[in-house]
Structure 1
Amino acid sequence: MLLSLLRTVSDGLLLAGEFLWQALWALLLGFMLSGAIQAFVSKEGMVHYMGDASPRSILYAMGFGAASTSCSFGDIAATKTLFKKGAHLLPTVAFLIASTNFVIGLTFVIWALIGWEFALAQAVGAPIFILIALIFVHSMIPYDEARQARERLIENEEPVVTDPVCKMRLNRENGIPVTHKNETVYFCSEGCKNLFEQNPDVHTTSWKEKITSWNGWVEAANQTLKDLKMLWKELAIGFLLAGLVAAAVPQTFWTLLFEGGGVGVTQIAYNSVLGPLISLATFVGSIGNVPLAAVLWSSGFAFAGVIAFLYADLIVPQLIRIYRKIFGKKIGTRLSIILFVSMAMTGFIVYYLFTAVGLVPDPTVTDARDGITIFGFEPVTILNGLFLLIAVGFGVLLVRGRKGAPGDQTVHDPVTGAELTVKDTDFCTVYDESIYYFESEHSRKQFRNSPEAYL
């Protein structure tokens, strides 16, 4: 008995490793691409295009979502920020769905693990999913309730911001706000504000400047690392669970489960509902549910059910709790139900769309990529090697970039001589267009009374 259990666990771990190897290049590409986009596009600028319920705002939201992290837990944080800063609820929900189901990185992982038909179905189904969900949101969540939820969210949070001039961190409520290029920036003092207004372009950078600068790519590497830290546990659980399920669950169980809905339309509807329910039971979100989707497909799960399962990372229990915290219990619960119904309907619709054009794959047919080699190497080996090298480059950016980050620079109090770190300093002043930092309000007052004595 024990020997059999150990063998099953061993086989499961080997299968998990195989799944990870197949998807590694896609994961690396997705994370690095997402990190770059987050570094070069600000959320303040995004809110400017998502302020109403127009089709234009919704399309912008879908585009911003498609360019985000593909991490359901990371993107719910971005969703909260957008909603709190003034994005209308409809484009906010469109962003939430697109950010986890319409992203390039996810498409690559699905293609690598299950096949191009599923990657295409995911992309085709995402706008359908969004449309269905928005119809329900519009009819079930009144605007006034959403506005009240935003007001509660703002009241309960006091986010920390960074002064773009002196790089000091401060509570947003205590800062002096200035609107610049559709973004609100905050200053610790009138001195920093005045210095900024004299030449704002010195202290801010456009996305074009960021993408061609060293600091811009350092920020991209930092965003990539941030996403990895948020998501690595979900990914590890997803791959381990997929390997263990593939090794331990007998085919008879899957047959009994998947054929419980009868035949024809009722079976497709049954599997479309079953997909999200399985996701609820596994607690696996983000890209981590893709390897398990591959196991379900190879075990006989219907195409419609697999598609609905892939969308269901938005209704894992952890996220449902977060929805209720962000939007309030009533709206959060209604939103969770809306997402569940919408993803099941999308799986059903996409199945019949793909059936009509003959794109539903046959699970018994071996993938045509099997056996192909390039200079004696499998394509996945070449891709993994290439993107591992690029990842090493991002690692170099992280190590070298930390030494030059403005907020991490060391400065000295001109009055006391104390050594300070810019981002942890609470007091500064501007004199003769230069910034000086202090360890206390007392030393700042001394400097202001007689600056020449300390220069």
Structure 2
Amino acid sequence: MSAITHALSLTGSMAWAILWALIFGFFLSSIVQAVVRRSTVSTLLGDDHPRTLTMATGIGMASSSCSYAAVALARSLFRKGANFTAAMAFEIASTNLVIELGVILALLMGWQFTLAEFIGGPIIIVLMALLFRIILREKLIREAADQADRGEAGSMEGHAAMDMSVDSDGSFWQRLLSADGVTAVAHVFVMEWAAIWKDLAAGLLIAGAVGAWVPDAFWQGLFLQDQPLLSAIWGPIIGPIVAIASFVCSVGNVPLAVVLWTGGISFGGVIAFIFADLLILPILNIYRKYYGWKMTVRILGVFYLSMVAAGYVVELIFTPTGLAPDPAQAHLPSEGIGWNYTTWLNIVFLLLAAALVWRFFATGGRRMLSMMGGSPGGEHGQ
């Protein structure tokens, strides 16, 4: 019982430490999604030119941070005419370059990890685009498009099919502050939480259990902590492999990243681990359903190589320059609830969340939740 209590205590402390940041991040993301229509997005991503990929990255940064929802939305954009590489750039940015991820990394691990994330993310997208240009052929892309049109749904297909943005004219602020704008923000906010809460809870519980039960000696041996040079080489290679096997994605893998960092993984290795939330086994299975085995193997290979390379670049930038934090100073949050700035921020943002949830249910949101697990009627074949 003491071991279980210790694990749950770590889980609760991590959850309390990042709660306000999650609400804040989802609120900002909801504002953007409420005023930008997805039909407009798909028309902007018709090729893999640098300008288009930059646009895809920017739009992704303001989109959903749920890995499953991002994968489903990327497939939806691809079906509606977006270039495959641009859709993948959107997918990577929407899970690894979102505001809430950066804030949570800063809170749990330090600002250096946030900076590394926003340096490594664009590197992955550039490498991914270059590798796809080399290995993807028109025939394979057509086969993937045919497979995507067959309508084999993933777990977030219904969510991806919904466009909750404001359908009216006017400036950004006029649309946002209108009654429809407030409703749209509330709907996006609640649906984003509905999409991610299971992954977030799983990530916190797994991190708490691993942090409490797995001895540091295991991680130190796995990550070759006693051999700094080999550890720096090995970290970005093993990091994504641990992520693939962990089943934890989205912002839910940050608590587990804290455990790995305190356990001795290299700086580049933990960054590569965080990036690999799009390669966990359930998502690889969704790629198989969406695009077929041939494309799935290429996505796995290209994403993995790009993430490993980004980990090495981050390591080379941060470690020699002294920007990487001292691993000896790392620790899992275990303070619990106390009267400090975190508690006050949590109270303020919980009140904001409560107001948005009330607006959601007061404006017909319950029906939207029931649509979330699958495609609405008529979506296939459009």
TM-score (norm 1): 0.73
Given residue 247 of structure 1, which amino acid in structure 2 is its aligned partner?
Answer: A
Alignment of 1:220 onto 2:185: yes
Q: Which residue does the alignment assign to 1:434? A: none
Higher relative contact order (CA 8 A, sep 6+): 2
1-structure distance, mates of 2:167, 2:58? 28
Deviations 1:264-322 (A, max 9, x none): 1x321211111111111211111110001011111222111110111010100011111
Deviations 1:200-223 (A, max 9, x none): xx9744673431211122122111
- The structure-2 alpha-carbon separation of the partners of 1:362 and 1:261, relative to structure 1 and needing over 3 Å to count, comes to closer
* 1:36-115 to 2 correspondences below 5 Å: 36-115=31-110
- The structure-2 alpha-carbon separation of the partners of 1:131 and 1:261, relative to structure 1 and needing over 3 Å to count, comes to farther
SS of 1:284 mapped into structure 2: coil
Deviations 1:144-179 (A, max 9, x none): 321332244235489xxxxxxxxxxxxx9xxxxxxx
* 1:181-200 to 2 correspondences below 5 Å: none
Alignment of 1:245 onto 2:210: yes
1-structure distance, mates of 2:200, 2:7? 15
How far did residue 357 of structure 1 move? 3.1
Q: Which residue does the alignment assign to 2:136? A: 141
- Aligned match for 2:347, one of 378, 385, 391: 385
SS of 1:364 mapped into structure 2: helix
Structure 1 unaligned regions, length at least 5? 1-5, 159-171, 173-201, 406-422, 425-455
1-structure distance, mates of 2:294, 2:314? 30
Q: Which residue does the alignment assign to 1:402? A: 364
- The structure-2 alpha-carbon separation of the partners of 1:323 and 1:203, relative to structure 1 and needing over 3 Å to count, comes to closer
Alignment of 1:321 onto 2:316: no
1-structure distance, mates of 2:320, 2:16? 34
Q: Which residue does the alignment assign to 2:319? A: 355
Deviations 1:370-415 (A, max 9, x none): 99xxxx9422122212211211221232133239x9xxxxxxxxxx
Q: Which residue does the alignment assign to 2:157? A: none
Given residue 343 of structure 2, which amino acid in structure 1 is its aligned partner?
Answer: T
Task: Out of 118-127 and 386-395, give the one that drifted further.
Answer: 386-395
2-structure distance, mates of 1:26, 1:356? 31
- Aligned match for 1:9, one of 4, 9, 13: 4
* 1:158-307 to 2 correspondences below 5 Å: 204-205=168-169, 208=172, 209-259=174-224, 262-264=227-229, 266-307=230-271
Structure 2 unaligned regions, length at least 5? 154-160, 368-375, 378-382
How far did residue 77 of structure 1 move? 1.3
Deviations 1:211-248 (A, max 9, x none): 12111221221111111112111111100111111110
1-structure distance, mates of 2:179, 2:297? 44
Given residue 323 of structure 2, which amino acid in structure 1 is its aligned partner?
Answer: L
2-structure distance, mates of 1:55, 1:79? 18
SS of 2:328 mapped into structure 1: coil
1-structure distance, mates of 2:328, 2:281? 34
1-structure distance, mates of 2:105, 2:8? 20
Looking at secondary structure, tell me which structure has more helix per residue: 2
Task: Out of 98-107 and 204-213, give the one that drifted further.
Answer: 204-213
Q: Which residue does the alignment assign to 2:26? A: 31
SS of 1:259 mapped into structure 2: coil
- The structure-2 alpha-carbon separation of the partners of 1:125 and 1:396, relative to structure 1 and needing over 3 Å to count, comes to same
2-structure distance, mates of 1:402, 1:204? 19
TM-score (norm 2): 0.86
- The structure-2 alpha-carbon separation of the partners of 1:304 and 1:138, relative to structure 1 and needing over 3 Å to count, comes to same
- The structure-2 alpha-carbon separation of the partners of 1:366 and 1:52, relative to structure 1 and needing over 3 Å to count, comes to closer
In angstroms, what is the RMSD of aligned CA positions? 2.8
- The structure-2 alpha-carbon separation of the partners of 1:334 and 1:43, relative to structure 1 and needing over 3 Å to count, comes to same
Contact kept in structure 1, 2:211 and 2:259, CA below 8 Å: yes
Contact kept in structure 2, 1:61 and 1:94, CA below 8 Å: yes
Task: Out of 284-293 and 32-41, give the one that drifted further.
Answer: 32-41
Contact kept in structure 1, 2:152 and 2:290, CA below 8 Å: no
Given residue 229 of structure 1, which amino acid in structure 2 is its aligned partner?
Answer: A
Rg larger in structure = 1
Contact kept in structure 2, 1:258 and 1:302, CA below 8 Å: yes
2-structure distance, mates of 1:370, 1:244? 13
Contact kept in structure 1, 2:78 and 2:84, CA below 8 Å: yes
1-structure distance, mates of 2:74, 2:98? 15
Contact kept in structure 2, 1:235 and 1:287, CA below 8 Å: yes
Given residue 345 of structure 2, which amino acid in structure 1 is its aligned partner?
Answer: L
1-structure distance, mates of 2:292, 2:235? 31
1-structure distance, mates of 2:321, 2:97? 22
Deviations 1:430-451 (A, max 9, x none): xxxxxxxxxxxxxxxxxxxxxx
Given residue 384 of structure 1, which amino acid in structure 2 is its aligned partner?
Answer: N
The total of aligned residue pairs comes to 355
